[in-house]
Amino acid sequence: MRIAALLCSVLVLGCFRPAAAEIVFQLAENKIPVALIDVGRTSRYTEVRLQAQAAVTGVCWTSEGTDSPYLLAGGRRYRFLGGDGITACPTRRNYAARESMALRFEPLDPQVKEISLVEGQGGENQMIDPASSKTRFWNFLRIKLK
């Protein structure tokens, strides 16, 4: 009886395990030395891991408002929830080459096969008119998922 209960527990808990991260490698737009290296999906969030390819200085993330990053998929914006190894603006931090950070967003719909990570309105404006922006925003466009 105990073995059956143990097996049931393992099966139930196994259903709630986060999906394995999907390995991707895509450099940021605008010649920024940062790559999106994997995307993980769970029922609670979508995690995007970024890695500096060279030293990057003065980095911060806006958690709310127009410059908050979001995932764009199927015409829908998936809201930024938080992350690990990141700093909230206005505080800034530096990243050494190969150092990574994780950003979490609302969970993607299961049928989503392509995403873009856009760094808020500033990132949108930079894509429209790159010369108008004094700040370099991190955008990752058309990332294919399995």
pLDDT for res 58: 94
φ/ψ (deg, to 5) at 61: -120, 135
φ/ψ (deg, to 5) at 79: -70, 145
CA distance 61 to 105: 13
CA distance 55 to 96: 4
Q: Give a yes or no: residue 6 inside a domain.
A: no
Q: Give a yes or no: residue 31 inside a domain.
A: yes
Question: What pLDDT, in 10s, does the model give residues 67-123?
Answer: 899 999 999 999 999 999 999 999 999 999 999 999 999 999 999 999 999 988 777
Q: Give a yes or no: residue 13 inside a domain.
A: no
CA distance 95 to 26: 18
Show the domain range for 62: 18-144
Q: Is the pLDDT of residue 135 over 90?
A: no
Q: Give a yes or no: residue 102 inside a domain.
A: yes
pLDDT for res 13: 39
Q: How many structural domains compose the chain?
A: 1
Q: Where do the H-state alpha helices sit in 1-146?
A: 2-15, 120-128
Q: What CATH number is given to the structural domain containing 66?
A: 2.60.40
Tell me whether residue 136 is exposed, middle or buried, using C-beta atoms within 10 angstroms of its C-beta: 0 to 12, 13 to 18, 19 or more: middle
Q: Give a yes or no: residue 8 inside a domain.
A: no
CA distances from 36 to 4, 7, 90, 109, 140 (A): 42, 37, 23, 20, 7
Q: Give a yes or no: residue 10 inside a domain.
A: no
Question: What pLDDT, in 10s, does the model give residues 2-61?
Answer: 444 434 443 333 334 345 678 889 999 888 899 999 999 999 999 999 999 999 999 999
pLDDT for res 4: 42
Q: Give a yes or no: residue 3 inside a domain.
A: no
Q: Give a yes or no: residue 137 inside a domain.
A: yes
